[in-house]
Amino acid sequence: DAGVIQSPRHEVTEMGQEVTLRCKPISGHDYLFWYRQTMMRGLELLIYFNNNVPIDDSGMPEDRFSAKMPNASFSTLKIQPSEPRDSAVYFCASSLDTSNYGYTFGSGTRLTVV
Amino acid sequence: RKEVEQDPGPFNVPEGATVAFNCTYSNSASQSFFWYRQDCRKEPKLLMSVYSSGNEDGRFTAQLNRASQYISLLIRDSKLSDSATYLCVVNRGTGGFKTIFGAGTRLFVKA
């Protein structure tokens, strides 16, 4: 099992540019989560999907952030336009369910907006 | 007050020592509990689930105290490779699903 695959591993972009982060969950996992981690705020849930449907996006900071899951094996998190305060590590995770099983995280995308 | 609270540490212990971390949670409706481990600049990885009856996995023991609303992680015979940040995770099942990650406790095991 290849685990949760995220790309790119690192992204450096200029303020105002569009950034797209990608995630391939573990096959068979019905839940996909996008998290953001910073030193100040720790791990924050941005949005999660169940069977490709967004269930809770209340953690999405603002309209500049959007996420899609067009099929069971692919999800994107887009930031447009990006700002320096978006600099963080973005993790994608997948799980069989929300309560009884832990999550498997991808290696993360380290985003730096300059 | 945060919904899940951990002592940030750091805990500095010698190899072979026993070390314990506690994590408190405020929502009594919380239903499931986990410990994750996160190495520096890596992703969190599931260490173990925490069951009401307590559970053990090798040198690691996790316990849940619902009455006092805390979970604990005990590491026996610490190894250098145990150095990491340990995250407490609580799932709130009612009032809408929500998984809360604690801020983590840093552990340094020294030779």
Q: Are strands B60-65 and B11-14 parallel, antiparallel or unpaired?
A: unpaired
Nearest-by-CA chain A residue for B105: A42
pLDDT value, residue B30: 87
Judged by a CB distance cut-off of 8 A, whether residue B54 touches chain A is: no
- Candidates B31, B43, B48, B52: best to mutate against A (most CBs of A within 10 A) is B43
How far apart CA A56 and CA A47 sit, in angstroms, is: 6
Nearest-by-CA chain A residue for B34: A102
**Tell me: the pLDDT tens digits for A57-102?**
999 988 999 999 999 999 999 999 999 999 999 999 999 876 777 8
CB B101 within 8 A of CB B4: yes
Nearest-by-CA chain B residue for A104: B45
For the CA atoms of chain B, what is the radius of gyration?
14
- In total, chain B counts a number of residues equal to 111
Nearest CB to A102; choose among B46, B93, B97? B46
Report the share of chain A in percent with pLDDT over 90: 85
- Which amino acid is present at B78? S
